[in-house]
Amino acid sequence: MYRCEASSVAGFIQQLAVSYVTNGYWFYVTGGIPAHKDPRAVDAKLIARYGLDVSKWTRCRRRKAGLASVQYLRHGHFFVIVATHGSHEFYAAEANRIQDIRRVPLRYASYAVGCRRFANHWHVAVRLDADVFHRLKAKFATMALSDDAERLQQTFRRLPVEPYAAVRRQLFELLRAVNRVRQTAGLELIAASALRLHRRSVEATL
């Protein structure tokens, strides 16, 4: 049975970034399922249309033959179809909508999933979406002077985000901004231990 329903936002991002994008699934389309439709009926339709319910050995043989591998992933009423290089019906059916995640990050919930190039290799990069990050910066700029150190530490610890490498850099940027304001005001600084820096692995799909 093809598992495609993400268990949570964290599970969706983990499956997309760690299992798919890292393995060359760079081409994608996203879609929203209308509220009146049954998401699982849409799942079945797309899985059948693109022949996705096959073994990993079949996928391996297809890739060796120059055919693309395609995967489908959904959380709630939002879904993404991702594909590797190669020939596949997906490219004809979705030709006008396909994006390359190396150039256009996929945005969902609080995250932006993209790629960065290092030493001629593409590496997945998961960060907080720019709008989300700007809202957090504004929130913490206000809290830096109005809240005591303990409450600020708790707020940092309880941020509902998974600390992928790029997210960690953003969290440290928030922390530095808060401490600059508090240092100028003569207030207690917030220790880096307030940040959750280790990502929790979750059950990605149901």
Q: What is the pLDDT of residue 206?
A: 65
Do 60 and 139 share a domain, yes or no?
no
Do 138 and 44 share a domain, yes or no?
no
| 29-39: pLDDT as tens digits | 999 999 999 99
| 105-126: pLDDT as tens digits | 999 999 999 999 988 899 999 9
Say which amino acid occupies 173: E
Rounded Cα–Cα distance for residues 161 and 188 (Å)? 25
Q: Which of 105, 128, 151 is the last residue of a domain?
A: 128
Q: Which of 128, 162, 180 is the last residue of a domain?
A: 128
* Predicted TM-score (pTM) of this structure: 0.92
Q: Which of 79, 98, 128 is the last residue of a domain?
A: 128
In this structure, what token pair is assigned to residue 97? Answer: 């909508």
- Domain enclosing residue 181, as ranges: 130-194
Do 44 and 110 share a domain, yes or no?
yes
| 98: CB partners within 8 A, 6+ apart | 27, 28, 29, 91
DSSP lists the bridge partners of residue 108 as 111
Do 50 and 124 share a domain, yes or no?
yes
Domain total of the chain: 2
Do 32 and 43 share a domain, yes or no?
yes
For residue 167, count CB atoms less than 10 angstroms from its CB and return exposed for 0-12, middle for 13-18, buried for 19 or more: buried
| 7-64: pLDDT as tens digits | 999 999 999 999 999 999 999 999 999 999 999 999 999 999 999 998 888 888 888 8
